[in-house]
Chain A
Amino acid sequence: MAESVAAGRIRAAPPSGVGRLSLSATLAVLEYCALNYRRNWRGTLFMTFFSPVLFLGAMGFGLGSFVNTGSGAGGAGGATAAAVGAVGYAAFLAPGLLAATCMQTGAFEATYPIMARLVWTKVYHAMLATPIAVIDVVAGQLGWFAIRLALVALAYFVVMIAFGLVHGGPIALLIIPIGVLTGLCFSAPIAAFAATQHNDNGFALIFRFLVTPLFLFSGTFFPIEQLPAFLQPVALITPTYHGVAVTRDLTLGTAALGPSLLHVGYLVAIFIAGVVACRLTFTRALVK
């Protein structure tokens, strides 16, 4: 009815609308997401494994050989040096790509799919007519994001192992949860934003002005020290930078406890803020 549509903009959500978290309800939401994903899992799973091969092949080894014969490797010449240098750049790049791809996937999953369930098919509304509460919807949906992101990170990890790009020992396995966390730092706040939108116009802006620049300039392809001085503090506040930095430290075997904890702590803080925002905007969108 017209009144309920108009109302959403005026009325703040009552705090009671969010409900109490229930494990079985959260798992049911997660199960829905998995069931829905199964419809096109073949295509996305193929892309998940194919894109690291593609990116590492072209950028890590192709562009990398070029980088290492030039100023990037300090002008070192000779065929052998170039080959070692190329692997060196690939090893530098791979963890960055892992974190940045998690960001990209995390951001994408939180835009159109969320809008579809909120506005187009109203699948969330259908859930809320059952014992499921808003907080279960948020928890189940974020849980699903985590699973999706874990697949992306795992794919990169496997490809990196295959290319011999992991030097950090077993502790390098931590890059999978950190990739997930980096992705969630985008999924959670962007899903919260998606829940405030009535159409998908805003999403193109997110990709154009947030995701793509962060993919390129957060230390993924080159250290942020190469950025103009005024942009370096900007890079420092992005979750992508911290995700890239700690992932790289872990795979190159250069991780130190203090800085790593700072990076992860920052990511956790952003993620929690995103969850709080989701809780608020999902309640506003769904409880009227």
Chain B
Amino acid sequence: MPTQSETQLGALIHARGLTKRFGELVAVDAVDFDVAPGEAFGFLGPNGAGKTSTMRMIGCVSPVTEGTLRVLGQDPATDGPQIRARIGVVPQSDTLDMELTVFENLLIYGRYFDLSHKEAGRRANELLEFVQLDERKQDQVEPLSGGMKRRLTIARSLINEPDLLLLDEPTTGLDPQARHLLWDKLYRLKQRGVTLVLTTHYMDEAEQLCDRLVVMDKAKIVAEGSPRELIAQYSTREVLELRFAPEVQDSLDGKLDGLAERVERLPDRVLIYTADGEAASAEAHRRGLEIESALVRRSTLEDVFLRLTGRTLIE
């Protein structure tokens, strides 16, 4: 049931000037954002950008240093347990009990939410089926694969049937198959109306899952919008990636001028931002540059991030 203030604000999460400091260190610097019900909202940024600190404040486990934060219409400072009763949390590293079985992990977690044994057991069985772990029900957690542990953590986060699900780097360290399986599960949850808030430093993950996202860098939000909007606003339609032999790349000064709106030189390649990649490629060849390979692709969030911060996401 939405509370009155929740209805008035219309946002499940409402942050204004939200700040987190650890002594001298500013982890989150006066960020503003709102998350609407049913939305999949992402925090994109490199390690150390303040994503996890923000998530921990939303999850009511880390006190807000300054600013306003309302989660499900309530104040984490005073209503922490009530808010936490209605959210699910998938932390960055799994906090499962390795000595307990898969089923026991879910059962005891249900007890933390004051569910009866019967109800917790019923939900645990249902969730294990949902994350395709029902056959491992009586197994200990320790020997499970990383992807299975992650799925179990997601199942665990759903035991209280949360209105809001917080996922901190849900697929970091997983192989591609495990990631796609997880994305599928998250997509199904979203279809059921669960609001998802996730952090990631994977562009493809953000593009796959997020309706809307903010890009964080150095404790601040530097851009906000849907993946498509961000690409339209901060990048060009296409990108031409040129690779040169190292000594050639070092002596390119001026030779690419005027080729496109923007040219970004990375250690291993040069990115040419342009509406028409093929035309730029033809022009580069016409100039007689010693190109080893040329690739035309669509712009991604990685390009947006590079534009905004001058750095790649994973470095």
Chain B residues near A257 (CB-CB < 8 A): none
Distance in angstroms between the alpha carbons of A1 and B109 in the assembled complex: 24
Interface residues of A in 164-205 (CB under 8 A from B): none
Query: Would you call B84 and A130 a contact (CB within 8 A)?
Result: yes
Interface: B138 (CB within 8 A): no
Distance in angstroms between the alpha carbons of A31 and B38 in the assembled complex: 35
Query: Would you call A3 and B48 a contact (CB within 8 A)?
Result: yes
Interface residues of B in 267-304 (CB under 8 A from A): none
Distance in angstroms between the alpha carbons of A214 and B276 in the assembled complex: 81
Chain B residues near A132 (CB-CB < 8 A): 81, 112
On whether A11 and B23 interact (CB within 8 A), knowing A36-B100, A130-B112, the answer reads yes
Chain A residues near B56 (CB-CB < 8 A): 4, 288
Interface: A127 (CB within 8 A): yes
Interface: A42 (CB within 8 A): no
Interface: B200 (CB within 8 A): no
Which of A16-24, A64-72, A247-255 forms part of the interface with chain B? Answer: A16-24
How many chain A residues touch B (CB < 8 A): the figure is 37
Interface: B96 (CB within 8 A): yes
Tell me the smallest distance from the CB of B11 to a CB of chain A, in Å: 22
Chain B residues near A121 (CB-CB < 8 A): 95-98
* Cβ-closest chain A residue relative to B27: A3
Q: Which of A22, A28, A286 contacts B81 (CB 8 A)?
A: A22
A-B contact pairs, 9 of them (CB 8 A): A2-B47, A4-B22, A4-B56, A14-B63, A28-B108, A36-B99, A122-B91, A127-B112, A286-B61
Given A1-B27, A130-B113, 19 more contacts at CB 8 Å?
Answer: A1-B52, A1-B53, A4-B56, A10-B23, A11-B22, A14-B63, A16-B63, A17-B63, A19-B80, A36-B97, A39-B100, A126-B109, A126-B156, A130-B84, A130-B112, A130-B160, A133-B80, A133-B81, A287-B62
Chain A interface (Cβ < 8 Å from any Cβ of B): 1-4, 6-7, 10-11, 14, 16-17, 19-20, 22, 24-25, 28, 31-32, 35-36, 39, 121-123, 125-133, 286-288
Chain B interface (Cβ < 8 Å from any Cβ of A): 22-25, 27, 47-48, 50-53, 56, 59, 61-63, 77, 80-82, 84-85, 89, 91-93, 95-100, 104, 108-109, 111-114, 156, 160
Closest 6 CB pairs of A and B: A7-B22, A10-B23, A126-B95, A130-B112, A131-B81, A129-B89
